[in-house]
Amino acid sequence: MKSRIVTFGEIMLRLSPKGYLRFCQADTFDACFGGGEANVAVSLANYGFESCFVTRLPENAIGQSAINELRRYGVNTGYIVHGGDRIGIYYLEKGASQRPGKVIYDRAFSAISTASRNDFPWEEIFKDCDWFHITGITPALSDTAADLVVEACKKAKELGVKVSCDLNYRNSLWPKNKAQITMTEICRSVDICIANEQDISDVFDMHAKESNVLTGKINKSGYMEVAEKLQKKFGFEKIAITLRESISASDNNWSAMLYDGNNYYFSKKYAVHVVDRVGGGDSFAGGLIASILFGYDPKEAIEFATAASCLKHSIEGDFNLVSKEEVDKLANGDMSGRIQR
Amino acid sequence: MKSRIVTFGEIMLRLSPKGYLRFCQADTFDACFGGGEANVAVSLANYGFESCFVTRLPENAIGQSAINELRRYGVNTGYIVHGGDRIGIYYLEKGASQRPGKVIYDRAFSAISTASRNDFPWEEIFKDCDWFHITGITPALSDTAADLVVEACKKAKELGVKVSCDLNYRNSLWPKNKAQITMTEICRSVDICIANEQDISDVFDMHAKESNVLTGKINKSGYMEVAEKLQKKFGFEKIAITLRESISASDNNWSAMLYDGNNYYFSKKYAVHVVDRVGGGDSFAGGLIASILFGYDPKEAIEFATAASCLKHSIEGDFNLVSKEEVDKLANGDMSGRIQR
Amino acid sequence: MKSRIVTFGEIMLRLSPKGYLRFCQADTFDACFGGGEANVAVSLANYGFESCFVTRLPENAIGQSAINELRRYGVNTGYIVHGGDRIGIYYLEKGASQRPGKVIYDRAFSAISTASRNDFPWEEIFKDCDWFHITGITPALSDTAADLVVEACKKAKELGVKVSCDLNYRNSLWPKNKAQITMTEICRSVDICIANEQDISDVFDMHAKESNVLTGKINKSGYMEVAEKLQKKFGFEKIAITLRESISASDNNWSAMLYDGNNYYFSKKYAVHVVDRVGGGDSFAGGLIASILFGYDPKEAIEFATAASCLKHSIEGDFNLVSKEEVDKLANGDMSGRIQR
Amino acid sequence: MKSRIVTFGEIMLRLSPKGYLRFCQADTFDACFGGGEANVAVSLANYGFESCFVTRLPENAIGQSAINELRRYGVNTGYIVHGGDRIGIYYLEKGASQRPGKVIYDRAFSAISTASRNDFPWEEIFKDCDWFHITGITPALSDTAADLVVEACKKAKELGVKVSCDLNYRNSLWPKNKAQITMTEICRSVDICIANEQDISDVFDMHAKESNVLTGKINKSGYMEVAEKLQKKFGFEKIAITLRESISASDNNWSAMLYDGNNYYFSKKYAVHVVDRVGGGDSFAGGLIASILFGYDPKEAIEFATAASCLKHSIEGDFNLVSKEEVDKLANGDMSGRIQR
Amino acid sequence: MKSRIVTFGEIMLRLSPKGYLRFCQADTFDACFGGGEANVAVSLANYGFESCFVTRLPENAIGQSAINELRRYGVNTGYIVHGGDRIGIYYLEKGASQRPGKVIYDRAFSAISTASRNDFPWEEIFKDCDWFHITGITPALSDTAADLVVEACKKAKELGVKVSCDLNYRNSLWPKNKAQITMTEICRSVDICIANEQDISDVFDMHAKESNVLTGKINKSGYMEVAEKLQKKFGFEKIAITLRESISASDNNWSAMLYDGNNYYFSKKYAVHVVDRVGGGDSFAGGLIASILFGYDPKEAIEFATAASCLKHSIEGDFNLVSKEEVDKLANGDMSGRIQR
Amino acid sequence: MKSRIVTFGEIMLRLSPKGYLRFCQADTFDACFGGGEANVAVSLANYGFESCFVTRLPENAIGQSAINELRRYGVNTGYIVHGGDRIGIYYLEKGASQRPGKVIYDRAFSAISTASRNDFPWEEIFKDCDWFHITGITPALSDTAADLVVEACKKAKELGVKVSCDLNYRNSLWPKNKAQITMTEICRSVDICIANEQDISDVFDMHAKESNVLTGKINKSGYMEVAEKLQKKFGFEKIAITLRESISASDNNWSAMLYDGNNYYFSKKYAVHVVDRVGGGDSFAGGLIASILFGYDPKEAIEFATAASCLKHSIEGDFNLVSKEEVDKLANGDMSGRIQR
């Protein structure tokens, strides 16, 4: 029987100018849907799991389009609640070469940020559920959203559902001190903690030595120390950290580390030509959850998760539209990109 | 010297699927900017006036793009204030044949709806100003917005600036009874009142006999009565009413009436193939203001305003991008649409 | 509980040049998916039914995209079988004014046309099923496809599932005499027969007097006679006939008739501006099935079905992406196409 | 053996905004190639003739693209000369409803307008040639171009090649009096004269009574008189006049008349929904030449030419991309525009 | 006088999603035409040769579009036969970074694969012909296609026409053992053999030592051995092998080797940023044939062929749309890509 | 108070095929406006200066669109004169990898090239003006244009306006010897001289040793010598030289040098992935002028100018649409291109 995974959070309308146009040049926006947790839900549906995404969306044609898009890629939308006035929006301008990409959030007052406790019957939602995934973005949306996440995590823990959390700090949504308090509370229910090279420093004030994200310099041992400290603090079963070396908006090095309380597993490092880097971290989380559910060993798991997210950088939109077979093939070493007929 | 006209209100980002696609089919949105008062401002700039649009916009790339678009068409944006969190949005799905067009508003909490009195130095804005134009949309946005409009109209009146108002009732923004109270207050400062075939009934509960907008039936004498009643109530210098007969989303008949307290002037009626009907009423208001400032007599004025708005229906986007020469040519009778080499 | 409807047939990749370009001008094709029975399945999902589409598709990315598209619009794809070498294709060139639209079929050897009996477990598929819908296209694809349809209809009949069939004669797929033999056998299991103004003449050699589809001349009484004859021959519970008057590729009159063995019910006639007329008949079938399942009386049913298909002509693609509310509104008389804010 | 037809003139790059956008809204231009004589050449190639287009084009990638486009549709480009600095351009803004279409010419100093006598070896070009077609546009380009046309016509006449000329007066290219002198000289070599409802009045100052092109009013007997007068003056074998009634930029009535010195033949009149009306007259000329070469009688000929040009109005671009079969079908009465599967 | 080259094979409709979209994201396909032999034919026409492409295409608008596209680029299509039911199709998803490109073939039952001996009058086709080019793809399509290729090669040989063959093994079309038998027979008539780094291994089971295409490792001496062995076996006049080092789907190194039975000539190696790598091998074949016909010496020939195919990687579509001058310039060392004004 | 800068020159319509399509593949052109001096004007408006662009444009919709585009980005267009017959055009084909980009000029007889002395009231234009910028392109357009530039420079000098000139040699517009004479005259009024790695060699026959632009080899000391020589000859206050190392059309290294008569300042060198390199030099000039007006010291100035132009390479179109903050950020060392939320 298929594993059942529930994710909870926000799905937004994403609006981005064509190609490398700047916002001020655009008279057309490519429109898709995405959000940290929804992106993970799609990854898991792609890998063949029963993936259920829970959110709240306004009852209008744009909200319905978000649901349609999730259904299209096989996500169970049965627990999405209708209500609220608007869907959150984010505008994305792609970067290129030395010009950084830009995100403008317009997600205040979105349906999920104004949801209430009664909207989500957690007991029913977690029935037969194997895994619950959340991120640090949803609690940053509003106080009620933070409460909802805390409550859901506790309930999951209580019901024996495994909980994973991607720290995903967004400084434009809340201040660091508030994030620290809330994320600390959430992390008490978390089994698998996922973070990128900056999150732990921002949220928990633990800094990897001799690394500088602005110059793309990454020091492995610094991240090993940080992972250990964090594991000690929260007793996580596993901690995974993605390590992005941003050479330019067009070229990134991408690798990751997994720490299981005993050993450190480092993935291969990929030299990535960026097509669309948004959702890179989410595709890593999706890959990691999947690989653990596949029963992969830690080394295989980190390779699968990193290969999955490496591929995401070559795919337009937030969703990582790849199959298990495609990820396995890359994780197993065929990096040539040769055409397949 | 050029006449100087000030308009005040909201400019929104408009997002519409390509061609006749429904919202649920769209993965691209055509993006432009528009709003009742901004549309009038662009019309007036096109006709060669010094046209100044006053609003509040967030200090981000999307807000800047709205300003750029106004500048592009020659509107003075010098009194636009930066502030607030978001630009209002409206989603537009074009109708076709028997399928009606649809607008979804996402304009709550927009920068202009949260503006405060201090944002706009009316005395300075109205310096050398000949005309001030507002609509019934802005006061519907929020109580503070309503206050701003009332205050601005009073100040304009006080300074001897001619005031025009397009009633423009939007039932999704406020209830009829609230509209009636506010618009009654505003209309006390108004010289020129503009309305469509439905507004007066919605806002002032005065109904044109034997007309039914759903079947496209329009009875001239009913509107004559209504205009007279309204004129009596507020002492308007002029009342203009557009008369849309909606045969289908693709075909409309379009004409208008002007009442100057003495006589009724009816324009020619145009059988319009609709390219984009949004902004039709605004283009009429723009045409009417312009024709009065050109010194046209009432018959010429209503013909100019109606021809201007007839042409708008053939133009994509909210703005009526036509010149005085083009409108004059149609108003003077060349309706053949023959190609011009 | 929701009614459950099963449809069985082919879903094809549809490739059409942009706008009104001819095939020889195209360097881009708009791609969507469609087919007589799939179109009905989508209509029924839109109206809120449990709609299950059964077919066979190749196990490649194009086949998967067809499944995704059905899921997107809420169709249950759980009984779609993987197998075969290719998905059927049809190329569509839109007509305009006096230039007719053109369809080039490339559907030979498609996965469904080479399916075998073992592919479809009918007993299981028809569990809790209320209605089974097929068309005259699938049996025209191949002898094995014809056998499958005959078998499925018999099984449905046997299990007490209501069966509807849209005659849908395609002269490029099979000759009239072969169609007559097969459709006669199929019609023995059919309860509700649906046809257009040409089908009955082509398949059963029964001609409506004084009608000429090339000149767009339609004589009501001729179709009344034909319906009666057909009802007598097969004992259908209901016969519905759509009546298209093709004035040009851009303008059609559209109405329909329903005969329930006792009375004739004629719908309103719509003057339609054609956006995309492919799937017009399918949207009628979908509307008719829905209206019967809604419990509408015959007059209401034929008005709903005709209004639904009237709206289809304004929608791009094969699918009729409208809601019950939208169809009811038109059926109840609001034909003005006025914009809805 | 195939008839061989030579046409001589200019082919331009045509730049038009997408859909119904105005010039000032465009950030993309649809690009195609066209010009009165090239359009005729393509029509004739489509009908299966050996069609040879003669011109001069600059030796750069844009000039080469024009040649490629002619080759694509089967036109013989073997006598196109390389030279000159630029290809002529015309910008086209499509009209809609009451808004007229607009053409901005940027064709001064084009390669053909600066060509010299030595560029074209007429004796060789006219070898085995059955027909030579020119229009009144080429002589309007420059004095050298006018000389070239005069010379070519004389040479054709001398060699027994049938000569047709479409008067095609363009008031932005030359004044009426100059046109009259030059066209009079050219017409002395012409066998078949083609004109629209305005040309004869503009060029030869002969006016059809009781017709007014601005109101779309066309009086048949007025054109009969004019045709007779013209025939008498130049001894033309045949005169054909197209009769456009422009109801709006979107709707035209289209018919034509042929006079063979004895009888007047009027075609059916088509109510046309305009997709792209540029090249309408050229497609008529192409249809007329073809129908004469097919050996059609005068009534058949005028019906073929009118049906051909009726279809052109439904096709994007300057070229009339239809086959003989398609034109015959319409000319023979199937005007229903029903989809063909 | 121009050299005349005949190529024989299949031209397919190629459908590819925009940019880097995956198949499942596409609602539009870029459409062009291509195929191994057709691509060579276009290259040769571009270089100024009389290039004649022979195939069989269905008599419909899509088949005609393929012919038009060949004509557009100057290919002689006079010996293309009409018949069969469908044009072959291939779907192409572009790869990026570590994600490989994907080709889905839908070419079974294409017109050329069902062609018969009578379709092609080889004696007539080879009249005045200098060169005949085929590939290993056509014989893989069907047994009748294989027979046609064998027959044509023999006839060419008999008539003294030089024969070149690109091995081009496609494992999705036929098994290796079948390929070996057929290609062995064909190679007996071949003068110039062309292959890529994988073909010889797949078809003739001769492996280059210490090379691994998956890691992009290429060992020159291994290919020298293989070339020599092959030359001995078939007595080829020349063997050329392209050497692709696939670093990722976005970056390839590209070079080639020519062996004339005496010496080995290696080209420069190009670091290529891939725009579209399909047709890379065909552009090499086209360049090689051209350079031999230009009379270039072996070193110049391999540099020309490699430069030509290097440029192909920067061009969208299957065809290598470059001129002799452009290739010469690169082959002679200007690799800077500096803009040319 | 804002500094006021005047630029004088040509603004052209730029037409470029989509993406990396070649000219011969295009049936659509992206259209924007640009030209050496207009590009500088837009840069300066972006940085917040009062930027006034002076030119002559035809009084038609295309000329008006050019004005609109300048206004959109905040340029003062009040001194643009209407007149002349055409706007200059340039066709741009983007290069990729080893394939160079191509520009085809069609700017002869443009409105500015036929302007006369009376068109521009220099005294009035230079009122309150701080800086006047011209390039070596305008004097190359025609003798009258050259006279205009000479005259304007002299007048500016006379009025104490600082004058900068970008040498910008275009070999397709005029021969080197003519350029040398005219530019020598102009340079006598110039304070700040800007050039690229080729200009000085082309115009003044002074060659940087051991540099070869075709191989991308740049020798710093060679350029130091050249700068010194040039400074000595004309007494320039500052000389700035951009140093492009063109590795391929896709990858360039980009740096620059500033010489102030005493010291040489070299900027950082950027490894640029090219999105659109047209206007790169102009964005450098704009950045340099701005940084001097900001009061930056020479090292800061050259870093700002180089960072500004580095960013330009990532932006579509001629204009460098970046803000002062964005340039400062890169100049100060954040080259990571990390996404900004």
Res. D214: pLDDT tops 70: no
* Structure ipTM: 0.96
pLDDT digit string (tens) for D71-105? 999 999 999 999 999 999 999 999 999 999 999 99
F93 in contact with chain D, both atoms CB, cutoff 8 A = yes
E partners (3+ CB pairs within 8 A) are A, C, D, F
d(CA E257, CA E243): 8
Q: Do the Cβ atoms of F341 and A216 come within 8 Å?
A: no
Low-confidence residues of chain A: pLDDT under 50: none
d(CA A127, CA C132): 33
pLDDT digit string (tens) for E80-105? 999 999 999 999 999 999 999 999 99
Q: Do the Cβ atoms of A277 and F339 come within 8 Å?
A: yes
- SS3 of residue B185 by DSSP: helix
DSSP E49-72: -EEEEE-EE-SSHHHHHHHHHHHH
**Closest residue of chain C to A72, computed from CA coordinates:** C72
Q: How many contacts, defined by CB atoms under 8 Å, are there between A and C?
A: 14
Dihedral, CA of residue F303, residue F305, residue F308 and residue F311, to nearest 10: -70
Instruction: Report CA D227 to chain centroid distance, whole Å.
Output: 19
DSSP B109-168: T-TTTT--GGG--HHHHTTT--EEEEESSHHHH-HHHHHHHHHHHHHHHHTT-EEEEE--
CB C243 within 8 A of CB C199: no
**CA-based diameter of chain F, in Å?**
53
- Average pLDDT of span E330-339: 93
Which residue from B64, B104, B109 is facing A109, i.e. has the nearest CB? B109
> Which ranges of chain F would DSSP assign to H, the alpha helix?
36-46, 61-72, 122-125, 138-141, 143-158, 176-187, 199-204, 220-234, 280-293, 298-312, 324-331
E73 in contact with chain D, both atoms CB, cutoff 8 A = yes
Query: Burial letters for D78-101: b for 16+ Cβ neighbours within 10 Å, e otherwise?
Result: ebbbeebebbbbbbbbbbbbbbbb
B partners (3+ CB pairs within 8 A) are A, C, D, F
Structure tokens at E140: 């893989």
Mutate to test the interface with C, among B16, B22, B90, B98 (most CBs of C within 10 A): B98
pTM of the model: 0.97
Q: Which long-range contacts (CB under 8 A, 24 or more apart) does C197-201 make?
A: C197/C223, C197/C241, C197/C242, C197/C243, C197/C244, C198/C169, C199/C136, C199/C167, C199/C168, C199/C169, C200/C167, C200/C226, C200/C230, C200/C241, C201/C226
Class of residue F246 by CB neighbours under 10 A (exposed 0-12, middle 13-18, buried 19+)? buried
Q: Do the Cβ atoms of B109 and A108 come within 8 Å?
A: yes
CB D241 within 8 A of CB D195: yes
Q: Do the Cβ atoms of A313 and E216 come within 8 Å?
A: no
Res. F176: pLDDT tops 90: yes
C-alpha dihedral sign at A273, A275, A278, A281? negative
Q: Which F positions 260-289 lie with beta carbon below 8 A of chain B?
A: none
Q: Which value, in Å, is the radius of gyration of the alpha carbons in chain A?
A: 19
**Taking CB atoms and an 8 Å cutoff, what residues of chain B touch C340?**
100-103
Res. C301: pLDDT tops 80: yes
pLDDT band with cut points at 50, 70 and 90 for residue E219: confident
Residue B68 Cα, gap to closest chain F Cα (Å): 5
Q: Do the Cβ atoms of A215 and F336 come within 8 Å?
A: yes
B72 in contact with chain F, both atoms CB, cutoff 8 A = yes
Class of residue F64 by CB neighbours under 10 A (exposed 0-12, middle 13-18, buried 19+)? middle
Q: Do the Cβ atoms of B71 and F72 come within 8 Å?
A: yes
Q: CB F177: neighbour CB atoms within 10 A? A: 9
pLDDT band with cut points at 50, 70 and 90 for residue E215: low
- Least Cα distance to D272 among D291, D245, D299 occurs for D245
Q: What type of residue is D26? A: A
Which residue from B321, B339, B341 is facing D105, i.e. has the nearest CB? B341
Q: E strands within D63-167?
A: 81-82, 89-93, 102-106, 131-135, 162-166
3-state helix, strand, coil in chain F (%, to 5): 35, 25, 40
The backbone torsions φ and ψ at residue B288, rounded to the nearest 5 degrees and listed phi first, read: -70, -50
d(CA B84, CA B36): 20
Measured N-to-C along each axis, helices C61-72 and A61-72 cross at an angle, to the nearest 10 degrees, of 140
Q: Do the Cβ atoms of C71 and A69 come within 8 Å?
A: no
Res. C211: pLDDT tops 90: no
pLDDT digit string (tens) for E35-70? 999 999 999 999 999 999 999 999 999 999 999 999
**Closest residue of chain C to E69, computed from CA coordinates:** C24
CB F241 within 8 A of CB F253: no
Q: Do the Cβ atoms of B71 and F69 come within 8 Å?
A: no
**Taking CB atoms and an 8 Å cutoff, what residues of chain A touch F326?**
99
**Taking CB atoms and an 8 Å cutoff, what residues of chain C touch E26?**
31, 65
**Taking CB atoms and an 8 Å cutoff, what residues of chain C touch B22?**
315, 321
Q: What type of residue is E321? A: L
d(CA C113, CA C10): 8
Structure tokens at A12: 């937004």
Instruction: Report CA A201 to chain centroid distance, whole Å.
Output: 18
Q: Do the Cβ atoms of B97 and C326 come within 8 Å?
A: no
**Taking CB atoms and an 8 Å cutoff, what residues of chain F touch B68?**
72-74
Q: Do the Cβ atoms of D270 and C98 come within 8 Å?
A: yes
d(CA F35, CA F42): 10
d(CA E224, CA E222): 5
Mutate to test the interface with E, among C12, C32, C71, C89 (most CBs of E within 10 A): C89
Structure tokens at A127: 């029935």
CB E241 within 8 A of CB E257: yes
Query: Burial letters for B219-247: b for 16+ Cβ neighbours within 10 Å, e otherwise?
Result: eeebbbebbeebbeebebbbbbbbbbbbb
pLDDT digit string (tens) for F208-245? 887 776 666 778 899 999 999 999 999 999 999 999 99
Q: Do the Cβ atoms of E91 and C24 come within 8 Å?
A: no
Q: Do the Cβ atoms of D20 and B316 come within 8 Å?
A: yes
Res. E217: pLDDT tops 80: no
d(CA F68, CA C242): 52
Which residue from D68, D86, D104 is facing F106, i.e. has the nearest CB? D86
pLDDT tens across the length of chain B (341 residues) = 699 999 999 999 999 999 999 999 999 999 999 999 999 999 999 999 999 999 999 999 999 999 999 999 999 999 999 999 999 999 999 999 999 999 999 999 999 999 999 999 999 999 999 999 999 999 999 999 999 999 999 999 999 999 999 999 999 999 999 999 999 999 999 999 999 989 999 999 999 887 776 666 778 899 999 999 999 999 999 999 999 999 999 999 999 999 999 999 999 999 999 999 999 999 999 999 999 999 999 999 999 999 999 999 999 999 999 999 999 999 999 888 999 98
**Taking CB atoms and an 8 Å cutoff, what residues of chain F touch E73?**
24
Which pLDDT belongs to residue D201?
92
Q: Report in angstroms the alpha-carbon separations of B333 from B241, D47, D104, D214, E74.
A: 21, 41, 23, 9, 51
Report DSSP state, residue A7: E
F60 in contact with chain D, both atoms CB, cutoff 8 A = yes
d(CA B59, CA B71): 16
pLDDT digit string (tens) for B238-286? 999 999 999 999 999 999 999 999 999 999 999 999 999 999 999 999 9
Q: Report in angstroms the alpha-carbon separations of E112 from A291, E42, E84, E86.
A: 46, 19, 8, 9
**Closest residue of chain B to C46, computed from CA coordinates:** B24
Q: E strands within C215-330?
A: 238-246, 251-259, 264-266, 270-273
- Average pLDDT of span F70-98: 98
**Taking CB atoms and an 8 Å cutoff, what residues of chain D touch E74?**
68, 71
> Which ranges of chain B would DSSP assign to H, the alpha helix?
36-46, 61-72, 122-125, 138-141, 143-158, 176-187, 199-204, 220-234, 280-293, 298-312, 324-331
Q: Do the Cβ atoms of C100 and D333 come within 8 Å?
A: no
A335 in contact with chain B, both atoms CB, cutoff 8 A = no
